[in-house]
Amino acid sequence: MRGLPFTSAAFIEGFKVTIVLGSIAAILLVLWLWREYSVLRRLDNKGVLTDAQIMKLKLFPTRPTTRRLTSYFVEYQFRTDKSDEVHIREQIISGETYYILKNQDTVKVRYLPENPSISRLADQHRDNYTYMYLVGMIFGMILGLIGIVLGLFIFFRRSIF
């Protein structure tokens, strides 16, 4: 009697590879998100608050027919407390913030004193990316663990059934 298609050796080998690659991708995603999250936490804890001026507001529709899939950006400039050097930064923002801000508005930004190129909008224009990165890390860790467990299960068993 012939076995089910998903119990064939070729399917199992392909599934093993998919599980391993998916687990590696999930782990790399978690590492990248952790790096981004730690930078945002440093901004929250050690960042210096200063005024910035909005230079440009941009939107890029990913599909011309829908507004839901539009990416919104703000470009602002600021000076640090220790130098007269002007720092220009571009940041992705929410659609809600995009429609509130206007060119030449003055906003608060938080920057790292040791590296002013790392900055974010602050106060009422602050985004929720810190929490989004945290949720992404948790989701990535769960997917990575599921992949590792499935991979080990398949590796040590000859077939699924």
- What pLDDT digit, counting tens, does each position of 29-63 carry? 888 888 888 888 898 899 999 999 999 999 887 66
CA neighbor of 80 nearest in space, from 41, 114, 126: 114
Pick the more confident residue, 41 or 143. 41
Give the pLDDT of residue 108. Answer: 93
Domain boundaries in the chain? 9-156
CA distances from 157 to 21, 27, 123, 160 (A): 19, 24, 55, 7
Decide: residue 123, CB within 10 A, 0-12 exposed, 13-18 middle, 19+ buried: exposed
Please, what is the angle between helix 9-46 and helix 129-156, to 10°? 150
User: Residue 161: is its pLDDT beyond 50?
Assistant: no
The 10 Å Cβ neighbour count of residue 75 is 15
Q: Is 0.85 topped by the overall pTM?
A: no
Q: Who contacts 127 (Cβ-Cβ below 8 Å, separation ≥6)?
A: 92, 93, 94, 97, 120, 121
Whether residue 72 contacts residue 95, with contact meaning beta carbons closer than 8 Å, is answered with: yes
Residue that is written with structure tokens 């030449």 in the block:
104
Q: b/e per residue, 21-34, with b = 16+ CB within 10 A?
A: ebbeebbebbeebb
